[in-house]
Amino acid sequence: MSTELWYTERYEEHGAALSLKIREVLHREQSPYQNIEIFETEQFGTLMTLDGLVMVTDRDNFLYHEMMSHPALFTHPAPKRVLIIGGGDCGTLREVLRHQEVEEVVQVELDERVTRVAERFFPELCENNQDPRARFHFADGITWTKEAEAGRYDVIIIDSTDPVGPAAGLFATDFYAACHHALADQGVLVAQSESPLLHADLIRQCQGRMTEAGFGAVSSLYFPQFCYPSGWWSATLGRKGLAMDAFRIDAARAFTGTRYYHAAMQQAAQVAPAFLLP
């Protein structure tokens, strides 16, 4: 009988767990903020976990990263300045930098070690990190956003961990209000908003708080994501303006190189399940 190694993430409050078969542990370190682990899995490529929670695998991260970036960018009429809060693995950054009209991307990740480890173990996600339009800051995203000048950004992407611990503030109304202030007219905010199956209340709360914070149009996106709890995930869009009508469908149709996202998917992903209809 041979030895088998499995990595298991327990979704404790949901009485469920996901396991991935591991070939070897590639790296382990305790950063000032969290425990970072890298595994080589048998079927999902390289895996990164933070404090025991799956963050990214080679095989399925395209779903999340494409949906955290392209819908927001194609909802803005001319996105030039983008702020990413979190996003340390750089997969969202890579997708944002594929938009030629973007002139500057500021990424504010709390933990520099996440980015340094990603550069080493996820070279594909970090392939655009040398792009001169990318600027990296390792700092607290909430403070950064609150201190940003009014109207500084066209798009803000909240690529955060779960709303517990340091990330809890990223789901608060006053943080969304700070994003609203830091966005220019017609600015677009997108925030990861957890699982529709497991956290429907959080999605409704996120929509409600963005509305309270001043966003005139709010809409959630629903998409599959195997390695996150329940395999079904969401992101919530808020637009500074009165409608979510700015979708640049022709530009989206001309955009190539994605594996999940395409113009028709932007619209399909915004169709809520019946239990989450307004």
Binding-site positions read: 34, 65, 89, 109, 140-141, 159-162, 166
Using rule CB under 8 A, residue 6 touches its own copies: yes
Neighbours of 171 (CB within 10 A): 21
Using rule CB under 8 A, residue 52 touches its own copies: no
Site for its own copies in 162-201 (CB under 8 A): 196-197
Judged by CB under 8 A, the residue of 14, 27, 28, 253 near its own copies is 14
Q: Which is nearer to its own copies, 68 or 265 (CB)?
A: 265
CB 168 within 8 A of CB 139: no
For the window 54-83, what string marks contact with its own copies as x by the rule CB under 8 A? -----xx-----------------------
Neighbours of 256 (CB within 10 A): 7
> How distant, in Å, are the alpha carbons of 54, 73, 156, 209, 241 from that of 184?
34, 14, 10, 19, 10
CA dist., res. 47 & res. 154, Å (int): 32
Active site residue 159: yes
How many residues belong to the chain?
278
Using rule CB under 8 A, residue 278 touches its own copies: no
Residues of the binding site for spermidine: 65, 89, 159-162
Looking at residue 260, its amino acid is Y
Using rule CB under 8 A, residue 3 touches its own copies: no
Helix (H) or strand (E) holding 219: strand 217-224
Residues of the binding site for S-methyl-5'-thioadenosine: 34, 109, 140-141, 166
Q: Which is nearer to its own copies, 19 or 30 (CB)?
A: 19
> What is the set of active-site residues?
159
